[in-house]
Structure formats: C-alpha cells, structure tokens
Amino acid sequence: MNKALEFSAYMAGNQDIPTDVAEVVQALTGVAKTLSKKISRGALEGAMGAFVGENSDGDTQKALDIIADEMFFEQICKTSVRWFASEERDEVVAASASGRLALAIDPLDGSSNIDVNMSIGTIFSIYEAKDDGDESFLRPGVDQIVGGYIIYGPQTAMMITFGAGTLSAILDPERGEFLVLDQAVKIPGYANEFAINASNYRHWPTPARAYIDDCYSGETGPRGKNFNMRWIASLVAETHRILTRGGIFLYPNDNRKGYEQGRLRMVYECAPIALLLEQAGGQATDGCDRLLEQRAKTLHARTSFVFGTTDKVSRLSAYYDLPEFEAPALFRNRGLFRD
C-alpha cells in the first residue's frame, strides 16, 4: 500500500480529466478528509447527531448535515463551480461567477446513523453549467461529467467515475491522502443478497412484493436458491456493499403520503449512484426504466430506485412489465425466469 498511487496524482496524470474538474474533486476530497476526522471523534466533537430542524421537504436535519453542507460550499466557492445545489438547501446558489461547472451534492447521506457509529457518506455529481442554475441540474443523468461518493466507516473510502469506468480509493490516515485501489471496479455477479426495508412490505406495489416473495421462498421457490436480506438505512453504505460484493437494492414507491413517487432524490442521490453502477457493469432503474435517461422535474424530485447486478435488476423490471394482477401468479406459482 505504501507504493499505491495517490488519487491526486492519478487525476493529474489522466489527460481525459479536465483541470477544472480535477480541481473540484480535489476540493471535495479535501473536505472529506476533515469530515472523516470529525466523524471518527464522534461525541468528542459534540452532539453531531442533534436534531436542528427540517428542510423544505420535511426531512429532519442533524447538526452534522448543516456543518458538512457549509464546509463543502466554502471550499467549492474557491473552484470553477458556477452553481451549487445541495440536498440541505431549498434552491441552487451561485458559487463562482466565472465557473463552467455545476455541483450537486448530498453532503451527509444517512445522517440518522451518526449517533450509532454506522457508515454515512457524501454523494456528489458534476455537470457542465448552464446560464440558468436550475436547468444545470434538471437534465438526464447521462449528462453527468463525474459521479461519486465518499463513505465514512471503518475506513474512509471513495467510489468515483469520470465516465470511463468506476475507480475506488481509500484514505490512508497516516499519509492523509486518498490512495487508488482499483481503476476498473466491476460489480460481482454472484451475491444472493437483496437490500430493502421490509417493514414497508404492505405498502409496496404488487410487482415489488412478488419479487421479494420469490426471494423469501428460497430454494423451494421459483428462484431455486436461498437469499439473504440486508438493510442499513444509508444509501452510501448499501451502494458500497453492492459494488463490493454484488446483489440488488430496492426502494420502490408505495402508497403512503409522500412516497407515491419514491423517496430518494433523483438529483442528489440516484443519478450519481446510477452512473457509478453502470460504469461498474451494473444496472440502475426506477423499477422499470433506465434511471440515467430520466430528467428530474424539480431540484428535490424523488423517484423509485433499484440498482445492482444486471440480471437481478432486469428480472425485477420484468415483474413490472406484467399487469399487477398477473405478477404474483406468473412468477411465484409458475416460476417463469427461473435462474
């Protein structure tokens, strides 16, 4: 590991990464190093998980949410980012008037886990800026120049794509630098794991329930194999596990108020994760259609989100292609698309 390539050197030596883009990513990783130290100190830093209010969508905000947002914005203003859009802010704000880039960020994903010492993270994506701040982000996810996340867990690690494969790096606490681990991450195809909040089963649409029922049925069901369920309630942590060892993540829309269109935000969470997954050989959809081809109608628009290995995500899409009343009978009883 002592001879591992520093991430900053990787960017400097990659002629396909524009200088201003590398500058923005370097600023993000610089803030992440500071956040990593702060998070590792836990309660010694004060009540970072204290409730401090709600955003415009009614989501609770923790102290560290606001701290992280301010830290990133302060550093981004020193770069070529013209527009800054944060999950913690109601509107797009101007950063550098002369910049050509636009940054969307979830400064601290999974903040409900702050006080219980579980993995949390930062999700980000970079676009070319337009003259209109909102229009810089209300566009298909395929327009992203960069997508990535930083996870603060037992190790602080990063997954990032510049549009030509997914790269992983890890923060060496002794050197204070991110070191490249793998320049061509590929999602494994062998894990029989699914991640979903099963407590919401009764609210899900029929295709989602039928898919999970088949997984529950194990080796005696139509899938002919046993599955394990995982749920961390941190999108970054779920993504990191799936990129590391495979499987599928599901957060379907449901019939509860506020969940009709799904719960995760297209701009700040789903688009960058979808880009990472596709560049690693996986697939990401809204349950039916490719997510990167979709356009958010508002900055904080929500969507259903499914991602993981291509075979598992494609199978779920097939459930959604059927009329709701047919899905359980065709898949569970007849066992079509048996693996």
For the chain, which residues make up each domain, given as ranges? 7-182, 193-333
3 state DSSP class of 84: strand
- Indicate if the alpha-carbon torsion angle 300, 244, 126, 164 is positive or negative: negative
- Give the per-residue pLDDT at 83: 98
Flag residues of the chain having pLDDT under 70.
1-2, 46-59, 323-339
Q: What is the pLDDT of residues 9-33, one digit of tens each?
A: 999 999 999 999 999 999 999 999 9
At 54 the pLDDT is 60
> 7-182 architecture in CATH?
2-Layer Sandwich (3.30)
Task: Determine contact, residues 277/283, Cβ cutoff 8 Å.
Answer: yes
What is the pLDDT, as a whole number, of residue 58? 60
Pair of tokens at residue 323: 């009329």
The predicted pLDDT at position 42 comes to: 78
CATH 3.40.190.80 assigned to domain 193-333? The reply is: yes
Q: What is the pLDDT of residue 44?
A: 76
pLDDT per residue as tens digits for the range 203-255 = 999 999 999 999 999 999 988 999 999 999 899 999 999 999 999 999 999 99
Query: Rounded to two decimals, what is the model's pTM?
Result: 0.92
How would you write 197-265 as a 3-class SS string? CHHHHHHCCHHHHHHHHHHHHHHHCCCCCCCEEECCCCHHHHHHHHHHHCCEEEECCCCCCCCECECEE
Strand order in the sheet with 101-109: 93-94, 81-86, 101-109, 120-128, 146-152, 156-161, 166-172, 177-182
